[in-house]
């Protein structure tokens, strides 16, 4: 009997030891979970654009739409706007100087046609942000626009962890 109890309880004890080290979810004063901060390290920063582009192109391919390629000018416009949204502390499509997405892509020398811009203020990863954009019809239409051929994608992470994401498409 003791031998059977050991055989049955042994794995349970081992599993219990694994669970005790699980990450605890911190709750705020309102009882809701506090955001989990996604820290973008230099090593992760090198991977983010390619994970994002691969994911976008997979979504586009599933709909029979051609892939996007990065445009250095659109990347520059996206990076400028991500930083500017942080300065303004609000996610919106206009710059602190009143610039529109069209003005920003013209400033960096983009000669193609601006098709759309998605923005976000979050603590989430680029793929979680892409998922949120895909759930919103207006933002999904920017990602899946068949006329789009090029994309710019950038972010700015504040010291506290908040990330400002910008995606710009052109054709």
* pTM of the full structure: 0.79
- Kindly report the CATH number assigned to the domain that includes residue 150: 3.40.33.10
Q: Which residues contact 69 (CB under 8 A, 6 or more apart)?
A: 149, 150, 151
Count up the domains in the chain and report the number: 1
Task: List the chain pLDDT tens, one digit each, 171 residues.
Answer: 455 444 444 444 444 444 444 457 778 788 877 767 788 999 999 999 999 999 999 999 999 999 999 999 999 999 999 999 999 998 999 998 999 999 999 999 999 999 999 999 998 999 999 999 999 999 999 999 999 999 999 999 999 999 999 999 999
The answer to the question of residue 121 being in a domain is yes
Residues whose CB falls within 8 Å of the CB of residue 159, separated by 6 or more in sequence, listed in order: none
120's tokens: 């976000």
The Cα–Cα gap between 61 and 110 comes to 25
> Positive or negative, the Cα torsion across 148, 154, 155, 156?
negative
- Residue numbers of the domain that contains 105: 42-170
């Amino acid at each position: 009997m003791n031998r059977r109890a050991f055989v049955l309880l042994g794995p349970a004890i081992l599993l219990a030891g694994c669970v005790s080290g699980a990450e605890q979810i911190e709750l705020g004063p309102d009882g809701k979970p506090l955001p989990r901060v996604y820290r973008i390290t230099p090593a992760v920063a090198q991977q983010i654009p390619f994970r994002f582009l691969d994911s976008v192109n997979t979504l586009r391919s599933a709909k029979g739409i051609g892939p996007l390629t990065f445009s250095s000018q659109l990347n520059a416009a996206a990076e400028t706007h991500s930083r500017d949204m942080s300065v303004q502390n609000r996610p919106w499509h206009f710059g602190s100087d009143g610039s529109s997405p069209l003005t920003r892509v013209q400033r960096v020398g983009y000669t193609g046609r601006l098709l759309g811009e998605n923005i976000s203020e979050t603590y989430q990863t680029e793929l979680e942000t892409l998922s949120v954009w895909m759930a919103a019809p207006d933002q999904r239409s920017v990602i899946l626009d068949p006329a789009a051929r090029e994309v710019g994608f950038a972010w700015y992470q504040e010291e506290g962890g908040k990330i400002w994401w910008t995606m710009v498409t052109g054709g």
